[in-house]
Structure 1
Amino acid sequence: MTLTISSPAFADGERIPDQYVRDSDNRSPPLEWQGEPEGTMSYALIVEDPDAPRGTFRHWAICDIPANRHELGEGEGQRGRGLHQLANDFGNAGYDGPQPPRGDGPHHYRFRLAALDTDHLDIPASARADAVWNAARPHILAEAELTGIYER
């Protein structure tokens, strides 16, 4: 079976609903995954916008998600929910939704999930979101991606 990630809130390639964007409720969308490979000990998740004017912008990063978890509920990315979340590119440890510049056209928000062969990534508490994927790379057993689109 192949690792897949999905959301009951939007399908791959579809518009992200307003309640998950920074200008609105700024709640993280519900996410579900399945098909992890044998040997998976944890997961890492990063949400990034490769269409940002100054280069890839990271909206959320989590690591050390236990292997027996297969979902993140709506709003679980709010700060202080017991997840190992790192500072996003807004400077907040938690989820901050899409907020592309007005009139910049559609942006593609990639929700990237990695199944890892380790239960813990050694990342300093002061690290930023990009550190999650850099630390995860040598441990990746499988990856899955869900893309949502949003424009203002």
Structure 2
Amino acid sequence: MNSESIYSMRVVSSAFKNEDFIPIKYTCDGQDLSPELEWDLVTNAKSYAIIVEDPDAPGGTFIHWVIYNITTNRLPEGVPRLYKSQYGVQGVNDFGNIGYNGPCPPKTHPPHRYYFYVYAIDTILLEIKNINADKLKSLMEGHGIERGFVMGKYKRK
């Protein structure tokens, strides 16, 4: 990633606005669907990757979604929890599952923040079954062109 382009890519969701609360439908208290996401097309990007992080988790940053080799600039709501689909290759989140698992902070906690990071990459990455976020970040090393994010919050009742 070059330093001038840090978080310069616009990322939006029809489900929530940046820094707003994420609707229950996209959390463990609802249907646990991945929200619709859209981002800027980036010149020279061959693919995109998404990593969803909760930096407020008790044990440190908790990963909710790892998906890469996305070849469009949007994902629909409810991406199936499959290793490989028409949308991309999905890795393992910190729940130990393939695909998206939404916000599920401890009920006693104040709202947690959930960052939906989108990375524009200059190549199609090697497919690795059960890849985690750290391994994906190391695969992307030297291939990132731009990145951006949308952040939503959630508190359980």
TM-score scaled by structure 1? 0.90
Note the residue ranges of structure 2 that are not aligned, 5 or more in a row: 1-7
Where in structure 1 do 4 or more consecutive aligned residues deviate above 4 Å?
none
Q: Contact 1:60 / 1:86 at 8 angstroms: preserved in 2?
A: yes
**Using the alignment, how far apart are the partners of 1:123 and 1:54 within structure 2?**
29
Q: Which of 133, 136, 143 matches 2:140?
A: 136
Note the residue ranges of structure 1 that are not aligned, 5 or more in a row: none
- TM-superposition CA deviations, 1:45-81 (whole Å, max 9, x none): 0001010000000000111111xx11100001x3126
Secondary structure of the corresponding residue to residue 135 of structure 1? helix
| Matched residues, number | 146
Matches within 5 A, 1:17-32: 17-32=23-38
Q: Matched residues, percent identical?
A: 41
**Using the alignment, how far apart are the partners of 1:53 and 1:123 within structure 2?**
31
Q: Contact 2:9 / 2:149 at 8 angstroms: preserved in 1?
A: no
> How large is the Cα RMSD of the aligned pairs?
1.4
- TM-superposition CA deviations, 1:104-147 (whole Å, max 9, x none): 1110000000100112x225313223322222132110000110
Q: Contact 1:7 / 1:32 at 8 angstroms: preserved in 2?
A: yes
- TM-superposition CA deviations, 1:19-42 (whole Å, max 9, x none): 000121000000011141x21111
- Aligned twin of 1:79: 81
- Aligned twin of 1:11: 17
Matches within 5 A, 1:3-152: 3-36=9-42, 38-66=43-71, 69-76=72-79, 78-80=80-82, 82=85, 83-119=88-124, 121-152=125-156
**Using the alignment, how far apart are the partners of 1:126 and 1:145 within structure 2?**
24
Q: Contact 2:98 / 2:130 at 8 angstroms: preserved in 1?
A: no
- The one-letter amino acid of 1:73's match is P
- The one-letter amino acid of 2:118's match is L
TM-score scaled by structure 2? 0.88
Q: Contact 1:46 / 1:133 at 8 angstroms: preserved in 2?
A: no
Q: Contact 1:108 / 1:150 at 8 angstroms: preserved in 2?
A: yes
**Using the alignment, how far apart are the partners of 1:133 and 1:14 within structure 2?**
27
